[in-house]
A and B are shown apart, each in its own frame.
Chain A
Amino acid sequence: MAVETMTDIPVAAPTTRARRESQTALMWRRFKRHKLALVSLWIVALFYLVAILAEFLAPHDPGAYSARYTYAPPQGLQLFSTDENGGWRFFPHVNGYSTEVDRQAMRRIFVVDPEIEIPVQFFAPSDPYLLAGFIPMSVKLMGVSEARAPFYILGADRLGRDLLSRLIHGTRISLSIGLAGVTLSLFFGIIIGGFAGYYGGWFDSAVMRVIEFIRSMPTIPLWLGLAAAMPKDWTALQTYFAITIILSLIGWTELARVVRGRFLSLRTEDFVTAAQLDGASDWRIITRHMVPSFMSHIIAAATLAIPGMILAETALSFLGLGLQAPIVSWGTLLQDAQNIRTLASAPWLLAPGVCVVIIILSMNFFGDGLRDAADPHGR
């Protein structure tokens, strides 16, 4: 086999292969060796897909409530149905509820009743809506054909709202706030850190001292103070952007440090000196020679910064100072799980916490893998 390959491939073949091996290709090849990071990448991609397609995936409107089904337990989605003879057929359905009364606590509880089968329809027609805000659609991934039948795959909350739908919409808010916060941080980080690193001198010293000052402040009280200063009558959108800005107020410092460090180390590289001696302008040196060489590092650093943003948003909202009620985020969802009585009777309300753990872990692994792949010396 080896011999055949040697003789069959013309001399030009390695050339064309090497031609295509850009830095990005090399990075991807190194990244692929990192299996955990690769799996994490898929998980992260899946979460963001969910965030984008939220309206299509969520069976209900996140605000739709039903007093009949408060704290209804998760039904689970069953794809197959068994009949009396032990045979089975493909029949996606959920089980209905039967009501029992808990004598001790004297309250009504729901029990999933395997006898009742409510057929679930994929690509079910629905009320018209706009996917991601601009694509008109009138079909959802799943739905029950009987309009009034209960459909709570992950259970319902205090007001009988579907947890799955709220979780999906919350994913959109929580993930996008992480992304928006990091983008904003990156913007300030690159500009401020870039100036500090490229020109150095007093500006560099001043920026570094400011960063040290900001980072020495305890973050939670700072966020709380800023969030408390937000006017209560702001709309949901305004609060959303305000929270993003508050989060990136601290987030930019870390990224500015990374960018500054890369600028400092690249500034003395021979190829940058070579470009200076070519007569290139500062702008050309920065955009053509420096930024491409550390963009991969910056992306890795930014990826590692997103989890912090998500956690911060969740913490703020959990404490009631971040996003407010009509907005659904993982943090506001977890507010429902604040007391032990609710947790004991409705543990499914912790599902947003599970999502937080999964996405944070995945992003960290993904970021680690990306950083290792981007760093040619780190192997």
Chain B
Amino acid sequence: MSTLLSVENLSKHYTLSGGLFGAERRLDALTDINLTVEAGETLAIVGESGCGKTTLGRCIIQAQPASAGKVVYRPKAGGEVELSALNKRQIKPWRQDIRMIFQDPMSSLNPNMRVFDIVAEPLRIHKICKGRELEDRVIGTLAKVGIPAEAVGRYPHAFSGGQRQRIGIARALVLDPKLVIADEAVSALDVSIQAQVLNLLEDLKSEFGLTYIFISHDLGVVNYIADRVVVMYLGHVVENAPTEMLFERPRHPYTELLLEALPIADPLRRKGRKAEVRGEIPYLGNRPQGCPFHTRCRYAQDVCRAEKPALRRVNGTAQEAACLFAEELELKGAYEDGPVKVLHEA
């Protein structure tokens, strides 16, 4: 597999003005993010709200400028484009390759435009085709996501949440992109509709040879769809590992905490859980020294308060974690209890 996109030392901070006379404050949303996206994989970015995952997505797609660092896109072997260095006009052709699916299907579709025009808009902007050809392409794409041709003249309000999200997906796919960034693409949907949309995304991925960056807070969904997971905390990447490995044996205490919080459908297995989550996420503008997670970490030592761990490979595997004790800690994964055991005793 070749690397399709890489994020190098990306940082993003906001300056908060303290009013007319107050001092300006700096809020670091992303700190020194490094990650790569391989062609054809589904990379999930997870973390609780406020950890910077959406900001990361927006910085990758250049909806927001990064404060420092690079986003490099490699459309084909050898070719390199530094997206973060391009101006508005220069980046336009690459907008065809990297597309976004939004979280809220209610607000991501222009309520004043017909579905046909919403999906045709990117084709018109990039002047790819018109007339008959445009019509065929729009209707064809909509059909692929399950919106019938009779419905293309309707306005978004005539559709349900799931249908609207499909329209949003059609808008992303109509340009034949290579990379799709899905920002909480299913979070606003009912669980049953979530499954439909996830399956649709899977099908489309194999059909069009897509690569996904899937931003989510829902580990269940991530486990279902992702090949690799990046865990973020307070604007840092704390763990980056193939999905199987991460769920099997997390190497960062924060990941363990997230996995513990996964709801378990089986009441018998729910018993022995320690439902212990200590503390709140610290305010971004007032970040702890040392390891960003030490204030909530149950394994924290004195050294964690002083030294900031870098993201590194654990025992030479594909798993990367930013914890000083990544090798030593015995952290619990989500599959630890193994498959559900039927009770013989009763």
Contact = CB atoms under 8 A, between A and B. Distances in A.
Contacts of B154: 15, 18-19, 21
Given A18-B158, A19-B153, A21-B155, A277 B61 contact: yes
Interface stretch (B7-15, B69-77, B107-115, B261-269): B107-115
Interface string B94-124: 0110011011100111111100000001100
Given A12-B150, A270-B102, A274-B102, A279 B107 contact: no
B125 A293 contact: no
B126 A21 contact: no
A275 B171 CA distance: 10
B107 A269 contact: yes
B191 interface: no
Contact of A278 (B95, B111, B151): B95
Contacts of B99: 277
Contacts of B112: 22-23, 292-293
Kindly name the residue among A19, A284, A289 whose own CB sees the greatest number of chain B CB atoms within 10 A: A19
B25 interface: no
B165 to A, nearest CB: 12
B63 interface: yes
A220 interface: no
Interface in A12-46: 12, 15, 18-19, 21-23, 26
Nearest to B148: A15
A276 B92 CA distance: 10
Nearest to A278: B122
B52 to A, nearest CB: 17
Given A18-B158, A19-B153, A279-B92, A274 B111 contact: no
Contacts of B91: 279
A234 B61 CA distance: 60
Given A277-B95, A280-B125, A271 B109 contact: yes
Interface of A: 12, 15, 18-19, 21-23, 26, 269-271, 273-280, 284, 289, 292-293
Interface of B: 61, 63, 91-92, 95-96, 99-100, 102-104, 107-113, 121-122, 125-126, 150-151, 153-155, 157-158, 168, 171
14 contacts: A18-B155, A19-B154, A21-B155, A22-B155, A270-B102, A270-B108, A271-B109, A271-B111, A276-B63, A277-B61, A277-B99, A278-B125, A279-B95, A279-B96
